[in-house]
Amino acid sequence: MVEKRFCIVRRSTFYGSHFWGLTLAELASLCGVHPDLIIRFVHLGLLDPLEERDGVPSLFAPSSVDRVHKIVRLRRDLGINYVGIGVVLDLMHRIETLESRLRELERAMIGCRTERP
């Protein structure tokens, strides 16, 4: 049997514009973790909420689902502590940025080669 998961999002106002986000409970449910663990990730600086109410994170970007899954996998599968996870996530982001820039430069170089007579 195939399990289907649907992303439930709420519309909210953030700095005068509208966006869609996940509530704390929705994010925890989609990730299969307790909401307190999500709050812990926020307090450790591993996850950034879009909105807080009374000091409690209340709204998250849909991309937070992937980030929570990465955090959980790094902790569970590799046994990395939370400080180490922060470093790993930062390095992964830098690698993704550099790879993206490299692809842009490669496309630009190919474009320069095809423009020559």
Q: Indicate which CATH number applies to the domain containing 99.
A: 1.10.1660.10
Structural domain that includes position 88 = 10-115
**2 falls within a domain:** no
How many angstroms separate the CA atoms of 49 and 22, rounded?
10
Predicted pLDDT of residue 18: 57
Predicted pLDDT of residue 99: 98
Residue 1 has pLDDT above 80, yes or no: no
Percent share of the chain, pLDDT over 90: 67
Predicted pLDDT of residue 69: 97
**37 falls within a domain:** yes
Predicted pLDDT of residue 115: 62
How many angstroms separate the CA atoms of 25 and 34, rounded?
8
How many angstroms separate the CA atoms of 30 and 6, rounded?
8
Q: Give pLDDT tens digits for 33-71.
A: 999 999 999 999 999 999 888 888 889 999 999 999 999
Average pLDDT, the chain: 85
- How many independent structural domains does the chain possess? 1
Task: Give me the DSSP letters along 61-109.
Answer: -TTHHHHHHHHHHHHHHH---HHHHHHHHHHHHHHHHHHHHHHHHHHHH
**1 falls within a domain:** no
**3 falls within a domain:** no
How many angstroms separate the CA atoms of 64 and 22, rounded?
9
Instruction: Map tokens 């986000």 to a residue.
Output: 21
Query: What is the rounded end-to-end Cα distance, in angstroms, of the chain?
Result: 58
Taking the mean position of all CA atoms in its chain, how far away is CA 58?
A: 16
Predicted pLDDT of residue 4: 46
Predicted pLDDT of residue 2: 46
Q: Give pLDDT tens digits for 7-23.
A: 455 554 445 555 678 99
For residues 14 and 51, the answer to whether their CB atoms sit within 8 Å is: yes
